[in-house]
Structure formats: structure tokens, C-alpha cells
Structure 1
Amino acid sequence: MLKIQAVFIDRDGTLGGSDKVIYPGDFKLFPGVKESIKLLKDNHILVYSFTNQPGIANGEAAFDQFEDELKWFGLDKAYICPHRHDEDCTCRKPSPGMLQRAAFENDLELNRCAVIGDRWTDMLAADEAGCIKILVKTGSGQEAYDKYINKQYFGRWGEIQPDFIASDLNEAINWLMAKEGVKK
């Protein structure tokens, strides 16, 4: 059994908020999320954000505001793509660029990491990087799940399948902990 090194968590719709972007200062975590993050950290698993935030490029918020907020929530480091979708960057999901950068900077084996998100772009990036893929049904997750069930999502190599589908982040982390043999 490979021990999980890190968990990458999407922000909007996964950690809290909704399916829309809520800027720092107004963003609220879903119930139990701080405790779930603490559970990961208590078990020596790194916890990173993994989020597209084009509002930074549009001047609607600053990179530091997102980074500070995510660290205040208990995450170890923030991986944030500040670009708009039309900028052709290598970091914006569904590209695995943020995951690859984190692996390089933190000496991670991506096949020993998990991605938790509410959008199919999260699953595509995780799949391409070789991470465990967990789709949550919060935020845009129910819509992504419905499209998945109807076989509307494919990746570079064919149909993408999440390793686990959770009702929320807390259930996703409990599943990972059980997989690791950790009792809550």
C-alpha cells in the first residue's frame, strides 16, 4: 500500500462557497472542512490548494489574498492559476501544470497524491498527472456527476473514471483515511 503524500483540494465548490467564484473575505468553508484538513495534517499528509482564479488576471482580487486565505484555512501551500482561459497557460486546469509544479517543488510522487474537486477539469488534470481522483457533489459536482453517469466525459486516453465519488469533502477525506488504514 502506497502512503498518500499530499492531497490537492479545489477551492470553489469543494472547500466551500458555491459553483460561482466568491472572492477572499466573503468565502466560507463548508461545515467540518477545517477538521477534515486537520485530520490529513495530523496524519502527515500535505494539503495543497489547486485552483483556477481568473479574477486575478481581471484585477478583481490579488494572488496574495487567495494565498493568505487558503493558508489561514489550514492548507500548507496554495497552487493558483491566475490566468484567464484564453491565455494558453500551462497551469490552468484541466492541464496538470499545477500538480507537476507541486511535485517538482515538494519532491512528490504524483501517483501517491490525491485530487479532490467538483469539476471535471479537476478529474482530467488528476488523471493526466496520475493522481487519485475524487469527485465531490458539492458546488458544480452534481452536474459533473450527472454528465459522468451519462458518459459525456472523456480524457486524452478515453473515458475518465473517478476513483471515488463523495457527497462532500469530508466524505472524500474519510474515504482516503480509510484507504490509508487510519481510523477517525
Structure 2
Amino acid sequence: MKYQAVFIDRDGTIGGTGHFKHPRDFSPYPFSEEAISRLKTSGLRIFAFTNQHRISRGEVTEDDFIKEFNRLGFEKAYICPHEPEHQCNCHKPAPGMLIQASREFNLDLSKCIVIGDVGSTDILAASAVGATKILVRTGWGEESLGKYRSKWAETEPDYIADNLLDAVIWILDNGE
């Protein structure tokens, strides 16, 4: 299968611990920029997709995140600014951000990949649209596979990666 695009979660996948960090305080993991660069070099489209409900609380702006993702080399960022209880169609695990991207960029989501550290949000959103699902062990990844596995027990990741770079190597080795 020739993949069209990769959607990458932010907190715990690109950097941080899985907890919110303001973009001015956020640091990617040492390998994340290399991983993103390899994806770009391969010709795959790269999109950020992240839940950031602190936008709705006024603690940060969507523009703060967009500038961060632009600096990191993403083509576009899909950001849900809503609190989970708002039950919008964009807050992961809802697949709204993925569906929006598919419409904007004419993507077949079954030929796309989602990389994230939370099974009950990132992996379930990917599953809802038939995308390839990669769970990284960084951030909340280990706890997603252990303590919180019951929250997404019916869904299996296509690959469990040590980190974002490992995920990208797997994609490039398996993307034909």
C-alpha cells in the first residue's frame, strides 16, 4: 500500500510527557525532528492532530500551536480546542479532524497513518476511519498498553513503536 499522509499527535508523541505544555515551553524529543524530516523527504504529507482544550479556557491560542507545528515542518495542524464534555466531532477519539483533512486534501484515510501515544483517543480515532494505527511507547504509551488498555481493548494497533523515529522507520520500510 502506498501511504498518502501521516497524522501525528503532539503531547507524548512528538515530545513532552503526555501532559499539556504551552508551545513556548514544549520541546520535541531529540529524535522527533529527524523523524519528521524523514517523512517529508519520503514525500508523505505530514499533519499534526491534537486535542488542546486549554485553547477554550484561554490559556493558549490556536495560533501558538500553529506556529509551533509550522516550525517543526508540518503541512497543516488540526487542533481541537474544545473540552471533552462538549462532545464535538473533532475531539479525539472522534474522527472529525481526520475527516476534515480527508476532505481538504482529497485523502483516502485507509491509506493514511495515525501515530499517537494514547490508545483511547489517537488509536480509536484512527480505527474509526480505517487508518493504519501506530502507538508509540513514549508519553502515555506504556500506560495505554497496560493500565488503560481496557479503554480501547477492542482495537489493536498495527504497530507498537518505541518512539516516533521507530514509527517512521516502520512506515518507510512498509510503505512500498
TM-score by length of 2: 0.96
Which aligned pairs between 1:27-46 and structure 2 lie closer than 5 A? 27-46=26-45
Residue 31 of structure 1: how far off its partner (Å):
1.1
Aligned mates of 1:137, 1:36 — CA distance in 2: 15
- Root-mean-square deviation (Å): 1.2
What is the percent sequence identity of the aligned residues?
A: 46
Mapped partners of 1:30, 1:178: distance in 2: 22
Partner of 1:112: 111
Opposite residue 8 of structure 2, the aligned amino acid is: I
Aligned to 1:167: 162
SS of aligned partner of 2:59: coil
Runs of 4+ in 1 over 4 A off after TM superposition: none
Counterpart CA distance in 1 for 2:138 and 2:161 is: 9
Amino acid at match of 2:29: F
Q: Which runs of 5+ in 1 are unaligned?
A: none
Describe the superposition over 1:24-81 as per-residue Cα deviations: whole angstroms up to 9, x where unpaired.
1110000121111111111110110010000100000000000110111111100000
| TM-score of the aligned structures, taking structure 1 as reference length | 0.92
Give unmatched runs, 5+ long, in structure 2: none
Shift of 1:147: 4.0
Q: Provide the C-alpha distance between the structure 2 equivalents of 1:154 and 1:72, rounded to a whole number of angstroms.
A: 33
Matches within 5 A, 1:35-114: 35-114=34-113
Larger helix fraction of residues? 2
User: Partners of 1:67 and 1:100 in 2: how far apart?
Assistant: 19
State the AA in 2 paired with 1:79: Y
- Paired residues in the alignment total 175
**Number of the residue aligned with 1:142:** 142
